[in-house]
């Protein structure tokens, strides 16, 4: 649910129904963050492709690292929708509940491996101070062991979540326990 009209599955035209069916096949159901695009099925399809490529596509970043970045960026933007969704996903990889809670509340209070800490610091800084980036931020990632390919992927995840947080916050995309649970991870690489 959101603050704008969303087309229910039963009322979807052929193009929208095709995207809805793809979402159900790939993810098990239609998330509210994608359903909010229902008035523009092409944007929904493009958003889905971007999400699947960045979060599930081939990358040397582990899925847990991508989910942690998602949570850190979303917390910095106060986007409870994305924090809660990606907390659920991160919990699949991180079985330490206190650590999971710390990452979701304030990652700086969590005991993170140096590599993940560097990624989270970078994502947080890029989110909160995008105009103040410099080469030293990239050097810190390299010093933590990230390749340039991994740095690109961390940047893409960070940028994607800044984009999607603004959709959720700008359109009032809501969640509940039922909407958070039960997604599948078809196409997962790592």
Residue 190 has pLDDT above 60, yes or no: no
Instruction: Provide the pLDDT confidence category of residue 53 given band limits of 50, 70 and 90.
Output: very high
User: What integer is the mean pLDDT of 101-123?
Assistant: 97
The whole-number pLDDT of residue 27 equals 80
Check pLDDT > 60 for residue 135. Answer: yes
Q: 114: exposed, middle or buried (C-beta count within 10 Å: 0-12, 13-18, 19+)? A: exposed
For the chain, the structural domain boundaries read 9-56, 63-180
Q: Topology of 63-180 in CATH?
A: AhpD-like (1.20.1290)
Q: Is the pLDDT of residue 189 over 60?
A: no
Give the C-alpha separation, 150 to 28, whole Å.
29
> What is the rounded CA–CA span in Å between residue 24 and residue 166?
24
Check residue 145 and give its pLDDT: 98
Query: Given this model, what pLDDT does residue 186 score?
Result: 47
């Amino acid at each position: 649910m959101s603050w704008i009209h969303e087309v229910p599955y039963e009322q979807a035209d052929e193009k929208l129904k095709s995207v809805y069916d793809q979402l159900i096949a790939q993810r098990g159901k239609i998330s509210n963050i994608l359903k909010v695009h229902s008035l523009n099925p092409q944007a929904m399809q493009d958003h889905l492709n971007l999400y699947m490529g960045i979060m599930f596509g081939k990358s040397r970043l582990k899925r847990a690292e991508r989910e942690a970045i998602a949570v850190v960026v979303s917390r910095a933007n106060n986007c409870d929708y994305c924090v809660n969704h990606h907390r659920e996903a991160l919990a699949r990889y991180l079985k330490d509940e206190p650590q999971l809670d710390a990452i979701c509340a304030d990652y700086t209070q969590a005991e993170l491996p140096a590599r993940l800490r560097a990624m989270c610091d970078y994502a947080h800084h890029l989110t909160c101070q995008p105009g103040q980036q410099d080469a030293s931020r990239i050097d810190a990632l390299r010093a933590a062991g990230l390749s340039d390919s991994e740095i690109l992927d961390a940047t893409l995840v960070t940028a994607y979540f800044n984009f999607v947080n603004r959709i959720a916050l700008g359109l009032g995309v809501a969640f509940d326990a039922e909407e958070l649970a039960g997604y599948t991870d078809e196409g997962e690489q790592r």
